[in-house]
Chains A and B, each alone.
Chain A
């Protein structure tokens, strides 16, 4: 297979770029702890309300300016549908769905996750800037999908 010298250089650069992208992704995930939301817990989607911790959804303090939010998503609402935290708080979200697939996207942050029935999704986010954050469902879940939103207020 005859290849032009320029093509060899180009393909070397192309392969390097792709390798760098993957290596960097790996460093971010495993060394810096910035992996994508990947909760591996499971739950019976029909028994969400009676299974801990989802029998008691809401926000609780778990450390120095560190909170846990247990959240249930269902067509077409979040429970709880408004939370308040102090600025600089790190929030650990634990979420599941009682019905179809939903999305969980905190506008203005990089927090974006799929919430699926049967699976417990986990994600964490530090909220440094005060303000009201809009949270929306970004996976089509039915006729009221466009109404499915909540707020996170950072004081």
Chain B
């Protein structure tokens, strides 16, 4: 039984010091989202041939900044803030040392971001967020990246310490389900970024000129060991909200505590080698290794399909309780007007084409059709921009008021519904156009061009206009969400908002103890990483071509 005092605290924002920390993260995250999003609009307009960028404002510089601000800064800040809120809420507050680590992590990351963004703005680092060598940015760009990663590690270790301390104090208890997700995400944040850190530590002396040559293939492989894991960190974050929060919002119960934990474990252990599919059309790797990796990437599809089943099972069960009949009767019983449901629901629906596209890109031959085309960018924007980010937006309507001790008014809910629909429509236009024109061959990461008045390139133009239309709608959505977040943070009416966490079914079976054995899961994860990477890495290091000297090509 919860004491009234404890219950009250849970309703009204938990620990005030923790809320201050996470609200600061969220504020910076959404300002970053706003700036990064506007840069995206500039590109969409330029690519459609509608806008000439100012001479000292290079397309590739804008693209680099857009990618870094959204992919790296916004998402990392969001994910950490969300999971720190989760740990604070489900574990009765953060331990003081953890809260302190949260602040140090934030400051560290921001210092790193200043290095990175400054070099990009100065035109000394237009290397995209993939920064493939031997293209060379200012060394301070890489130093900045390293500092950002150090901040991420600090936050991850804060998470580990929180969970370890809580477990010591609550012997024999399962860690709360959302905290279980946090454990998975912090594990991936730390282990997933080890590869890229090794890469950056090789790039720094090379960029300063202390070492002469760089192993291009090795760098690229280390980058993607992190690149894909990172995408799955946003995805795992979104999934946590689908499993635990959405059922509560629609008046239902958890699907199954055990199966949810199994999904987390599967996503964590199978994740890191998935990045290899970014290298399917690379030279220097045999077809056998590529096929092994196609299989290893494909495995990630399995827990995702488990999730798809779980979600529809929950919807159907709630629908039936409310008197729905038939397989799809539940659709009419869902609270479509409640933005806390609508936003994540649309996010889930978009995961159907998004996930299918991901499976397609994993296949050796299909990958060849779409590799480095705008199709990939379209895929990226529906998976990250809708599946992950719209779920994140959906969480803001209760998490921000919960933290700021305010309430979501019907008017703000309505504005949220409008925001959700505009965002969805914008992504439909933009990602739809990108998918189509990518299949026709239009490349990604390329400014407006006619390729010497090529007829084929001219046939892409109508689709590229869709990018501009979508980008414009998304910008409106962007303004709205930023307004909503800050309104809920500072101006909405005072009151209590609940942190919605679904409970298990009354007849649910107990969660087995083995799910908690994180040392085992991490060992299995490392084993799978070794299985996927040891042989290729040894080959890339031992059997490497002469390295590359740096090039600055912009």
Find out whether the CB atom of A136 lies under 8 angstroms from the CB atom of B365.
Answer: no
CB distance from A114 to the nearest CB of B (A): 5
Pick from B282, B298, B306, B548: contact of A22, CB below 8 A. Answer: B298
Interface stretch, picked from A24-32, A63-71, A84-92, is A24-32
Q: How far is the CA of A115 from the CA of B281 in the complex (A)?
A: 9
Find out whether the CB atom of A134 lies under 8 angstroms from the CB atom of B443.
Answer: no
CB distance from A73 to the nearest CB of B (A): 12
A-B contact count, CB below 8 Å? 213
Per-residue interface assignment for chain B, residues 287 to 329, with 1 indicating a CB less than 8 Å from any chain A CB and 0 otherwise: 1001100110011011001100100010000000000000000
Find out whether the CB atom of B367 lies under 8 angstroms from the CB atom of A36.
Answer: yes
CB distance from A48 to the nearest CB of B (A): 11
Write out the residue numbers on chain A whose beta carbons fall within 8 Å of the beta carbon of B457: 134
Q: How far is the CA of A149 from the CA of B442 in the complex (A)?
A: 12
**A79 contacts the other chain (Cβ, under 8 Å)?**
no
Q: How far is the CA of A116 from the CA of B452 in the complex (A)?
A: 25
Instruction: With a 10 A CB-CB cut-off, give which of B132, B287, B443, B448 has the most chain A CB atoms.
Output: B443
Find out whether the CB atom of B128 lies under 8 angstroms from the CB atom of A22.
Answer: no
Interface stretch, picked from B71-79, B98-106, B172-180, B256-264, is B256-264
**B349 contacts the other chain (Cβ, under 8 Å)?**
no
Q: How far is the CA of A138 from the CA of B448 in the complex (A)?
A: 13
Pick from B364, B369, B449: contact of A146, CB below 8 A. Answer: B449
Q: How far is the CA of A26 from the CA of B440 in the complex (A)?
A: 26
Find out whether the CB atom of B302 lies under 8 angstroms from the CB atom of A15.
Answer: yes
Which residues of chain B in 431-485 are interfacial with respect to chain A, using CB atoms and an 8 Å cutoff? 440-441, 443-449, 451-452, 454, 456-457
Q: How far is the CA of A46 from the CA of B451 in the complex (A)?
A: 29
**B551 contacts the other chain (Cβ, under 8 Å)?**
yes
Question: Known: A7-B309, A18-B301, A46-B546. Is A25-B294 also a contact (CB below 8 A)?
Answer: yes
Write out the residue numbers on chain A whose beta carbons fall within 8 Å of the beta carbon of B11: none
Per-residue interface assignment for chain B, residues 121 to 143, with 1 indicating a CB less than 8 Å from any chain A CB and 0 otherwise: 00000101000101100000000
**B56 contacts the other chain (Cβ, under 8 Å)?**
no
Write out the residue numbers on chain A whose beta carbons fall within 8 Å of the beta carbon of B27: none
Which residues of chain B in 468-518 are interfacial with respect to chain A, using CB atoms and an 8 Å cutoff? 509, 512
B282's closest neighbor in chain A, by CB? A114
Per-residue interface assignment for chain A, residues 85 to 126, with 1 indicating a CB less than 8 Å from any chain B CB and 0 otherwise: 000000000000001110101011011111111111110000
Find out whether the CB atom of B373 lies under 8 angstroms from the CB atom of A118.
Answer: no
Pick from A45, A75, A115: contact of B546, CB below 8 A. Answer: A45
Q: How far is the CA of A116 from the CA of B281 in the complex (A)?
A: 11
Find out whether the CB atom of B446 lies under 8 angstroms from the CB atom of A37.
Answer: no
**A141 contacts the other chain (Cβ, under 8 Å)?**
yes
Question: Known: A110-B369, A117-B216, A140-B60. Is A28-B364 also a contact (CB below 8 A)?
Answer: yes
CB distance from B41 to the nearest CB of A (A): 19
Find out whether the CB atom of B281 lies under 8 angstroms from the CB atom of A37.
Answer: yes
Question: Known: A36-B364, A38-B287, A138-B372. Is A44-B546 also a contact (CB below 8 A)?
Answer: yes
**A147 contacts the other chain (Cβ, under 8 Å)?**
yes
A147's closest neighbor in chain B, by CB? B449
Write out the residue numbers on chain B whose beta carbons fall within 8 Å of the beta carbon of A100: 132, 134-135, 551, 553
Write out the residue numbers on chain A whose beta carbons fall within 8 Å of the beta carbon of B58: 143
**B96 contacts the other chain (Cβ, under 8 Å)?**
no
Find out whether the CB atom of B365 lies under 8 angstroms from the CB atom of A25.
Answer: yes
Pick from A11, A15, A42, A136: contact of B284, CB below 8 A. Answer: A42
Pick from A26, A75, A108, A121: contact of B441, CB below 8 A. Answer: A108
Q: How far is the CA of A107 from the CA of B128 in the complex (A)?
A: 24
Q: How far is the CA of A128 from the CA of B145 in the complex (A)?
A: 48
For chain A, the count of residues having a C-beta within 8 Å of the partner chain is 67
**A130 contacts the other chain (Cβ, under 8 Å)?**
no
CB distance from A45 to the nearest CB of B (A): 6
Question: Known: A118-B547, A143-B58. Is A39-B365 also a contact (CB below 8 A)?
Answer: no
Q: How far is the CA of A45 from the CA of B553 in the complex (A)?
A: 16
Write out the residue numbers on chain B whose beta carbons fall within 8 Å of the beta carbon of A134: 441, 451, 454, 456-457
Pick from B60, B284, B549: contact of A116, CB below 8 A. Answer: B284
CB distance from B283 to the nearest CB of A (A): 4
Find out whether the CB atom of A121 lies under 8 angstroms from the CB atom of B548.
Answer: no
Q: How far is the CA of A114 from the CA of B280 in the complex (A)?
A: 9
Write out the residue numbers on chain A whose beta carbons fall within 8 Å of the beta carbon of B448: 146
B285's closest neighbor in chain A, by CB? A38
Find out whether the CB atom of A14 lies under 8 angstroms from the CB atom of B302.
Answer: yes
Find out whether the CB atom of B283 lies under 8 angstroms from the CB atom of A37.
Answer: yes
Find out whether the CB atom of B298 lies under 8 angstroms from the CB atom of A18.
Answer: yes
Find out whether the CB atom of B443 lies under 8 angstroms from the CB atom of A105.
Answer: yes
CB distance from A134 to the nearest CB of B (A): 5
CB distance from A53 to the nearest CB of B (A): 16
Q: How far is the CA of A95 from the CA of B294 in the complex (A)?
A: 25
Pick from A22, A75, A120, A140: contact of B294, CB below 8 A. Answer: A22
Q: How far is the CA of A141 from the CA of B549 in the complex (A)?
A: 15
**B359 contacts the other chain (Cβ, under 8 Å)?**
yes
Find out whether the CB atom of B132 lies under 8 angstroms from the CB atom of A101.
Answer: yes
Find out whether the CB atom of B259 lies under 8 angstroms from the CB atom of A3.
Answer: yes
Per-residue interface assignment for chain B, residues 347 to 370, with 1 indicating a CB less than 8 Å from any chain A CB and 0 otherwise: 000000000000100111101110
Which residues of chain B in 190-229 are interfacial with respect to chain A, using CB atoms and an 8 Å cutoff? 216-217, 220
**B545 contacts the other chain (Cβ, under 8 Å)?**
yes
Write out the residue numbers on chain A whose beta carbons fall within 8 Å of the beta carbon of B301: 14, 18
Q: How far is the CA of A147 from the CA of B290 in the complex (A)?
A: 31
Find out whether the CB atom of B287 lies under 8 angstroms from the CB atom of A30.
Answer: yes
Write out the residue numbers on chain B whose beta carbons fall within 8 Å of the beta carbon of A24: 363
CB distance from A9 to the nearest CB of B (A): 10
Find out whether the CB atom of B60 lies under 8 angstroms from the CB atom of A138.
Answer: no
A35's closest neighbor in chain B, by CB? B287
Which residues of chain B in 80-95 are interfacial with respect to chain A, using CB atoms and an 8 Å cutoff? none
Find out whether the CB atom of A103 lies under 8 angstroms from the CB atom of B262.
Answer: no
Q: How far is the CA of A121 from the CA of B449 in the complex (A)?
A: 26
**B371 contacts the other chain (Cβ, under 8 Å)?**
yes
Find out whether the CB atom of A110 lies under 8 angstroms from the CB atom of B545.
Answer: no
8 more contacts with CB within 8 A, not counting A35-B287, A115-B283, A143-B60, are: A7-B306, A36-B368, A103-B372, A117-B545, A118-B545, A119-B217, A136-B441, A140-B128
Interchain residue pairs with CB less than 8 A apart (11) = A36-B365, A45-B545, A101-B216, A101-B220, A114-B371, A115-B283, A118-B546, A140-B128, A143-B553, A146-B448, A149-B452
**Which B residues form the contact surface with A (CB < 8 A)?**
58, 60, 126, 128, 132, 134-135, 216-217, 220, 256, 258-259, 262, 279-287, 290-291, 294-295, 298-299, 301-302, 305-306, 309, 313, 359, 362-365, 367-369, 371-373, 440-441, 443-449, 451-452, 454, 456-457, 509, 512, 543-549, 551, 553-554
